[in-house]
Structures are given as C-alpha cells and as structure tokens.
Amino acid sequence: MEVRIEPCYPEIDAHESRVIEDLKSSSTQPIAEPSGWLDEEINRNILVTTVDKLLNWGRKTSLWTETSFTACCTFEFISTSSSRFDIARFGMEVLRSSPRHSDLIVTAGTLTWKMAPQIKRVYDQMAEPKWVIAMGACGISGGIFADSYSVVPGYNRILPVDVYIPGCPPRPEALLAGIEKLRKKIEQSSISNKS
C-alpha cells in the first residue's frame, strides 16, 4: 500500500520555522546579567527600606518554580526536590505548571532552537517579578553540544539569566548553593529601582 505523508498544516509549519529563524538571527549576542542595579546608588528612605525588607523576605522565601525542564539536568532537580535534599525547606516545593503563578525558571537541560521560542514565550508570560537560574553546562554555554547547529549556546542568548550553576549535571548541593545565591541577590533588590 502506498503511504503518503503530507504535512497537515503546511502554513503552521512554515510559520514555525520562520519564528525559529527570526529568533536565531536576533539572538547572536548573550543578554547581560540583569544586575547592573547592584552597584547603583539607589536613593532609599526609611519607608522604602522597610517595605523592601518585607517584600524581599517574602519573595526570597517563597520561590515557586515553573515546570519547564528540557533535558537531563532535570533529574538532578527532581532529586533536589525529593526526600534526601528536600528543596521544601526553603518553601520551594510548590511546582506550578502555569507561568502566571511562578517566580523562577530553572533551565535544567539542553535547549534546542526548535524549543527556544516556546521557552522564551513561557518566560515572557510569567508574572513579574521573575528570575532565571541557568543550570548545568548546557544552560550556561551549550555544554558538549556547543558546536551543534541545533543547540542554543547558553540560555542567556534568549533569557536574562540571574545565576549560573556549572556541572554536567550539577549535583543537588550545587543547585542548593545556586538557590542560596539567588536568595542573596533578591535580598538586595529594591522597589525604588525600575529596571
């Protein structure tokens, strides 16, 4: 019997490849780490400082993670969130599948260009304030696939990454250390800064 394979929705396929090519050509340079404000002298008064303290404490204590994991580093994340390492101690065991509810993307895994527009869209749809942790060698620079035509060389091409965690894969302790770094970073942010 003759088998014919036709693309069901040729215009959608064409649109998809156009989006990917656009993204590829527009992200040749890494996006800078969004921490310029750290050195900036911000004019804080006593009220702003108090509100900042409260907000930052709340935000760093309940970081809800978006479940958008792409490859093998995920298993280290799962291991971190289960009994032995227990991410719940930091109030982070709430994994929300909807970007509207979540504060943090842990980019655990290799990202291909085919998947990149989706990840970027998920990030864009997250409610602010939001943070990104690049986990693993692939997340930082593409890792062992850095030379491949199909792999995004580092998440910072498409997202502003806050914390980088090296390793292939990073051990759960490393992930916890990275989360600790992010919490320190959140502590220093301020509402009077609109970056």
Contact segment (CB under 6 A) with ligand SF4 among 4-12, 37-45, 66-74, 148-156 equals: 66-74
Question: Considering only residues 17, 22, 91, 114, which one is a binding residue for other proteins as defined by CB under 8 A?
Answer: 91
Q: Which residues contact 92 (CB under 8 A, 6 or more apart)?
A: 62, 63, 64, 65, 81, 104, 179
Phi-psi domain of 39 (left: phi exceeds 0; alpha: psi -120 through 50; beta: other): alpha
The only residue of 34, 35, 44, 90 in contact with other proteins, by rule CB under 8 A: 90
Which of 99, 136, 154, 178 is close enough to bind ligand SF4 by CB under 6 A?
136
Q: How far is the CB of 144 from other proteins (least distance, A)?
A: 25
List binders of ligand SF4 among 159-188 (CB under 6 A): 168-169
Question: Judged by CB under 6 A, does residue 110 bind ligand SF4?
Answer: yes
Query: What residues from 142 to 161 belong to the interface with ligand SF4 (CB under 6 A)?
Result: 143-144
Which of ligand SF4, other proteins, none interacts with 20 (beta carbon under 5 to 8 A by kind)?
A: none
Q: How much is the CA Rg of the chain, to the nearest whole Å?
A: 19
Closest CA to 172 of 106, 70, 76, 71: 76
How many other CB atoms are there within 10 angstroms of residue 117's CB atom?
Answer: 16
For residue 102, what are the β-bridge partners?
none
Say which entry of ligand SF4, other proteins, none residue 14 contacts (CB below 5 to 8 A, set by partner kind): none
Position among 2, 3, 28, 100 found at the interface with other proteins (CB under 8 A): 100
Give the separation between CA 37 and CA 8, rounded to whole angstroms.
49
Residue number with CB closer to other proteins (4 or 100): 100
Stretch touching ligand SF4 by CB under 6 A, among 43-51, 54-62, 68-76, 146-154: 68-76
In the complex, minimum distance from the CB of residue 161 to ligand SF4, in angstroms, rounded to a whole number: 14
The span from the CA of 195 to the CA of 176, in Å, is 27
Place of tokens 């992930």: 175
> With binding defined as CB under 8 A, does residue 21 bind other proteins?
no
Alpha carbon distance 84, 5 (integer Å):
48
